[in-house]
Amino acid sequence: MANSICLLGGGAMGTACANVLAVEPTHDVRLWVRNPAYAHEIAESRENKRLLPGVRLADSILVTADAEAALKNANMVVVCVPTRGIRDVITTLKSHIPSEALLVSAVKGIENETLIRPSQMIQQLLGDRPVVAFGGPCHAEEVACGRPATVVAASDSLPHAEIVQQAFSNNNLRVYSNNDLLGVELAGALKNVIAIAAGISDGLQFGDNAKAALITRGLAEMVRFGEAMGAVPDTFYGLAGIGDLIATCGSQHSRNRRVGELLGQGQSLREIQDAMHAVAEGVFTARSIQSISQERQLDMPIAQEVFNVLFENKSPRTATIELMQRPLKPE
Ligand SMILES: NC(=O)c1ccc[n+]([C@@H]2O[C@H](COP(=O)([O-])OP(=O)(O)OC[C@H]3O[C@@H](n4cnc5c(N)ncnc54)[C@H](O)[C@@H]3O)[C@@H](O)[C@H]2O)c1
Ligand SMILES: O=P(O)(O)OC[C@H](O)CO
């Protein structure tokens, strides 16, 4: 079925989603980019040189900073900006977003100030409409050029998740539907924090055993956190949980893993962020997870040590030793 789909955000994810959708020729795909000069550059060169270099954008995609042109008659609007940008972007575009459009989030984070999830922010800003959130292993660099991937589309309203599932599925992308929106969004946010820990381990050259330990015990933390918040534990054993955790902790593409790797190699967070164009959501999410864990007295040792390294000036080696020296317990 033909859809008119607007992707909000000229970053790696917005650009990659546009290319994924353009495979299905009946979709009318628009990419809204905040900065007019940059929108023009992408539209002319057919490449997002800053955030997704080396990927040619399909000719059929309209790239524009003109909100009216991007959103006119759109029946699906996909939010692809970082958590910290959602309020700004939606507030700016609100009057152009059609009231009937299905709202979709590709965002993986938890807002620092309110501790709410992207779908909740979108609903706060646009009213109580169904929101569908993507989760699962989906590096923009790979899906943008048609390498096979599987993701989940989750919503409290399964029929809406299924609409997005149909629209995005093609020979290269297989989309599963899911009705645990809470679990899928929490899994996507949490895995970024664990990926920073995995990167720290890489930076310290700890090897494969340490990485496997972080993935496995990180997953245990994610499940513990999710259950406490009311999510379905099984969600964390699916694509949005273990699937994305494996991809992000192991990938050379991952910005979160890379931040951790550079921390492990001795750089400061300030140095890393100053040199990085792209957003590593886990840096911000680590704060939100820490606040929620403290409030609910949840035991999140890996996430806590990531927070300590990021914001409390703790050295990665000391954080590792303190993780290892915790009281022994059954698995
Ligand atoms: N890159 C991926 O592989 C990938 C995959 C799945 C999900 N995601 C998620 O998608 C979201 C966007 O990630 P991305 O990879 O496209 O990021 P990115 O860093 O590549 O691009 C972010 C885009 O948002 C804009 N932006 C940044 N801060 C903003 C702000 N405060 N207000 C308004 N706009 C702002 C930037 O100008 C840029 O166009 C994140 O939540 C990320 O976790 C990314
Ligand atoms: O590059 P990262 O670390 O933001 O991860 C991107 C995606 O979330 C992987 O699924």
Assembly ipTM: 0.98
Over its length of 331 residues, how does the chain's per-residue pLDDT go in tens digits? Answer: 689 999 999 999 999 999 999 987 789 999 999 999 999 999 999 999 999 999 999 999 999 999 999 999 999 999 999 999 999 999 999 999 999 999 999 999 999 999 999 999 999 999 999 999 999 999 999 999 999 999 999 999 999 999 999 999 999 999 999 999 999 999 999 999 999 999 999 999 999 999 999 999 999 999 999 999 999 999 999 999 999 999 999 999 999 999 999 999 999 999 999 999 899 999 999 999 999 999 999 999 999 999 999 999 999 999 999 999 999 999 9
Q: Is 10 known to sit in a ligand binding site?
A: yes
Token couple for 232: 């379905």
Residue written as token pair 């920073």: 196
> Using a 6 Å cutoff on CB, does residue 226 contact ligand 1?
no
Pocket test of ligand 1: the residue of 7, 34, 81 to mutate, having most ligand atoms within 8 Å of its CB, is 81
201: Cβ contacts below 8 Å, ≥ 6 apart: 210, 211, 214, 260, 264, 320
Distance CA 245, CA 241 (A): 6
Q: Where are the alpha helices (DSSP H) in the chain?
A: 12-22, 36-45, 67-71, 83-93, 118-126, 140-143, 158-168, 181-203, 208-229, 244-250, 255-264, 269-275, 281-296, 301-311, 316-324
Give yes or no for a contact between 91 and 177, defined as CB atoms under 8 angstroms apart. Answer: no
Q: Is 34 known to sit in a ligand binding site?
A: yes
- Determine the atom of ligand 2 nearest the C-alpha atom of 195: 3
79: Cβ contacts below 8 Å, ≥ 6 apart: 8, 9, 86, 89, 90, 103, 104, 105, 106, 107, 118, 122
Q: Is 191 known to sit in a ligand binding site?
A: yes
Token couple for 278: 């792209």
State if pTM tops 0.95: yes
| Domains, in order of start, for the chain | 4-179 (3.40.50.720), 187-324 (1.10.1040.10)
Distance CA 224, CA 236 (A): 10
Q: Whose CA is nearest to atom 6 of ligand 1?
A: 138
Strand partners, 32: 8, 64
